[in-house]
Amino acid sequence: MARSVRQSAADKFRRAAARSNRLHAEYLDDRDLYESYDRFTRWQLDFMLPFFSDLLEPEGYAEAVDFIVSDLAGVGISARDREIERATPVIVRSLPTHPLEAAAAAVELNARALEINLGICRKLLVGGKLPPDITETDYFIACRKVSSYEECMDLVHLTADLGETLKKLVRVPLIGGLLRTMRKPAHAAGFGALQEFLETGYLTFRRISDIDRFLDLLRGRMDHVFERIYRSPIPEQ
C-alpha cells in the first residue's frame, strides 16, 4: 500500500512539473507577454489580499497565507520550476513518501493555477499588451471567459489537500531534523528550491495551533471570493 501511494505521488509530480514548465515557456519566450503577465499577477495579488486581511491576524496565519499565495503566481517562480523539473528523477527517488506527497500536491496546484492565470491575462490583453489600468469589470469578464466557479473551487480543494499533506508532515516524528539535514544534499543534487519549499511549508504550518480551523477558514474565504468573481453581477464600468 505504501508503495502505491508513493508511486501515485511520483507520477503526479512528474506530470505537473512538466506541465508547469510548458506553461512558463509560453511567456518566457514572448517579451510582451512576459511583461504583461508579470504586471497582471501583481495586480491580481493586490486585488485578492484584502479579502484575507482578517486572516492575517491569528498567530501563524499570515505566514501560511503568504506561503500559499506566493508559491502560485508571478514570473519569479519559473526558475524554481525549471530546477524542479530537471531534478525530477532524483526527487522522486530520494524523497520520503510524506514530503513527496506534499511536493506533488504543490506542483499540481501550481500548474493548474498557472494555466488559469495565463488564460485570464491573455483575455485582458489589448493589442498584445496589458492595458495601463485593469478594472474589476474587465477582470471578472476575463475570468468568466477562461474558467468557472467550479474549476476554481477545485483549486481550493487542491490547496486544502496541500494543507492536509503539510499537516501530516508536521506530525511525522523527527521530520524537521530530516528536512534540515537534507539542505546540502538537496542543493548538491539540484533540488534545493524544492527542499526549501518543503522546509518552509513545514515550519509555517508548525506555527499554526489549529491547522484544521485555518484550512476551514481558507476554504470559506476562497469560496466567497470566487462566488463574487463568477456568480455575482458584474460591476459596471
Per-residue pLDDT for 93 more than 80? yes
Amino acid at 5: V
HSE of 178, CA atoms in CB hemisphere, 13 A: 14
Confidence at residue 184, expressed as pLDDT on a 0 to 100 scale: 67
What does the domain layout of the chain look like in residue ranges?
2-231
What is the Cα–Cα distance from 102 to 168, expressed in whole angstroms?
Answer: 9
Write down the pTM of the prediction: 0.84
For residue 1, name the pLDDT band (cuts at 50, 70, 90).
very low
What mean pLDDT is predicted for residues 190-203?
Answer: 72
Per-residue pLDDT reduced to its tens digit, 132-171: 999 999 999 999 999 999 999 999 998 888 888 878 776 7
Confidence at residue 75, expressed as pLDDT on a 0 to 100 scale: 59
What is the Cα–Cα distance from 235 to 196, expressed in whole angstroms?
Answer: 41
Give phi and psi for 129, each to the nearest 5.
-135, 155
Per-residue pLDDT for 76 more than 80? no
What mean pLDDT is predicted for residues 48-67?
Answer: 84
Return the C-alpha cell found at 229. Answer: 468573481
DSSP letter (8 states) at residue 234: P
Closest listed residue to residue 117, CA positions, set 46, 40, 47: 40
Confidence at residue 147, expressed as pLDDT on a 0 to 100 scale: 96
Mean pLDDT, the chain, rounded, equals 84
For residue 221, name the pLDDT band (cuts at 50, 70, 90).
very high
Closest listed residue to residue 214, CA positions, set 226, 204, 203: 204
Closest listed residue to residue 182, CA positions, set 168, 169, 194, 170: 194
DSSP count for the chain of H helices, then E strands = 12, 0
| DSSP letters spanning 124-192 | H-BTTB--SS--HHHHHHHHHHH--HHHHHHHHHHHHHHHHHHHHHHHSTTHHHHHHHTHHHHHHHT-H
What mean pLDDT is predicted for residues 187-202?
Answer: 70
